[in-house]
Amino acid sequence: MKPIKIGLLGLGTVGGGVVTVLTRNAHEIARRAGREVVISHAAAKEYDAGAIQGLDQVGRITDDGFAAVDDPEVEIIIELIGGYSPAKEMVLRAIDNGKHVITANKAMIAVHGNEIFRAAQEKGVIVAFEAAVAGGIPIIKAIREGLVANRIQWAAGIINGTGNFILTEMRDKGRDFTGVLKGAQELGYAEADPTFDVEGIDAAHKLTIMGSIAFGIPLQFDRTYTEGISKIEQQDVVYADELGYRIKHLGITRRTDAGIELRVHPTLIPARRLIANVDGVMNAVLVQGDAVGPTLYYGAGAGSLPTASSVVADVIDVVRALTTDPGNRVPHLAFQPGALSDLPVLDMEDIHTAYYLRMQAVDQPGVMSSVTTILGDLGISIEAIIQKEPEAGAGHVPVIMLTQRVQERNMNKAIRQIEALDTIAGNVHRIRVETLD
């Protein structure tokens, strides 16, 4: 049987890893897939030939991605150039040419996935994207296939290693956000422009995909609430620890009677939870199904070989499915295309969660009474309060509160009213709290 020929777009960190894995494990892959798999055409503008093991086994290398996409010998295109354009154009051209596509491009899938999957459905080809979420962790396959018998209730994940590294360093070494970010950039964990990582955009791309697969809704990146970690202060990390919590940057998607939650933001989690103890650059996703209960998936969320592991797993799945009738293949978004739900994605003000509040209050009697009256009038119950002793000469003291679950709309009203008090200085700092029960 003839080998399956691959066209590889991109020879960067992940592309180089794919070359290494496909060539180093070629015999094992052929045994699993039932066919030999070879890279017959790779395309890259720039690459470090000396750093890629197995590059000598690639058929040919050009600098034109469209040439690989149009190569008649290529049956599967692996897109690893990232970004929206020209990745989207290359993928759509590959689909139009009748080629199957594998990608690690979460931004492209989150924003343009609906269009791409429609085109693939019409052409009867597969678009696989396991590596787009959580790197080497097979979370797409777990939700889409391993938990297919379940009605997924919610999923919550640490799905950006850079943000998790920063929060871990802030807790373990007592450093502030700016200092840790600079260190992360020096170590190569954070980009020169870290916006996508620290402001939650990268995690929101991934959560959009997870939510769609978990609940059978169209991809809706523009409806995903996104908040980063740049406003987390060292004192918040310390107070959270005193209260028995850890701060993690979570992506959370949940099915409710009113619709689907899609939200990325810093979150206090009880320290006893396994996911609260996932540190450094590692990722973890917790999924709750009605039949299986809670399941936790942990591993490397990025990196050359871990991400290549997911890409090559998709290659094997596609090769296995080449002789399968398109109507009998695993659907791109887990549910049959005609069975996607029109459940609404909730506005952030409609979600219910608990809250950590930190404020600077004038050190005088009656201040806390005014704050608690505002909370009580809006139906917000207090779970715990920490009031620090004032430093010598300081006119304000930090007050930290944990509330019980409440609708965000009411909490927003309360915060506005508290900040308007003459006895409260500056803004009220809010971090959402989830017990993940």
In terms of DSSP bridges, do strands 352-362 and 37-43 run parallel, antiparallel, or are they unpaired? unpaired
- Mean residue pLDDT of the chain comes to 95
Least confident of 116-120, 246-250, 301-305, 363-367: 363-367
Q: What is the mean predicted confidence (pLDDT) over 49-76?
A: 97
What was the pLDDT predicted at 392? 60
Lowest mean pLDDT among 348-362, 380-394, 414-428: 380-394
Residue ranges covered by each domain of the chain: 4-128, 139-300, 351-433
Asked if pLDDT for residue 328 goes beyond 70, the answer is yes
Q: What is the mean pLDDT of residues 118-130?
A: 97
| Residue 389 confidence (pLDDT) | 76
What is the average per-residue pLDDT within 226-250?
97
What is the C-alpha separation between 409 and 243, in angstroms, rounded? 25
pLDDT band at 234 (very low <50, low <70, confident <90, very high): very high
pLDDT at 333 over 90: no
Q: Quickly state the pLDDT bin for 437 (edges 50, 70, 90).
A: confident
Which tokens hold the place of 161?
């290693």
Q: Among 240-244, 359-363, 400-404, which stretch is predicted with the lowest mean pLDDT? A: 359-363
Dihedrals φ, ψ of 263, to 5°?
Answer: -150, 140
Mean pLDDT of 238-260: 97
Mean pLDDT of 94-101: 98
Residue range 258-271, pLDDT digits in tens: 999 999 999 999 99
Q: Which of 5, 88, 141, 206 is catalytic?
A: 206
Let me know: does 82 contact 105? Beta carbons within 8 Å. Answer: yes
Is-catalytic flag, 106?
no
Cβ–Cβ < 8 Å for 196, 302: no
Distances (CA, A) of 46 to 12, 86, 247, 403: 8, 16, 39, 53
**What's the CATH fold of domain 4-128?**
Rossmann fold (3.40.50)
Per-residue pLDDT band at 154 (split at 50, 70, 90): very high
pLDDT tens column, 70-89: 999 999 999 999 999 999 99
351-433 CATH fold? Alpha-Beta Plaits (3.30.70)
**What confidence score (pLDDT) does residue 15 get?**
97
The pLDDT of residue 148 is: 96
Q: For residue 393, name the pLDDT band (cuts at 50, 70, 90).
A: low
User: What pLDDT is attached to residue 288?
Assistant: 98
Question: Which ranges in 97-188 belong to alpha helices (H)?
Answer: 106-123, 139-141, 161-173, 177-187
Say whether pLDDT at 65 is over 90.
yes
Q: Which fold has domain 139-300?
A: Dihydrodipicolinate Reductase; domain 2 (3.30.360)
Q: What is the mean pLDDT of residues 8-16?
A: 97
Per DSSP, helices labelled H in 55-176 are 65-70, 87-96, 106-123, 139-141, 161-173
Give yes or no for residue 327 having a pLDDT over 90: no
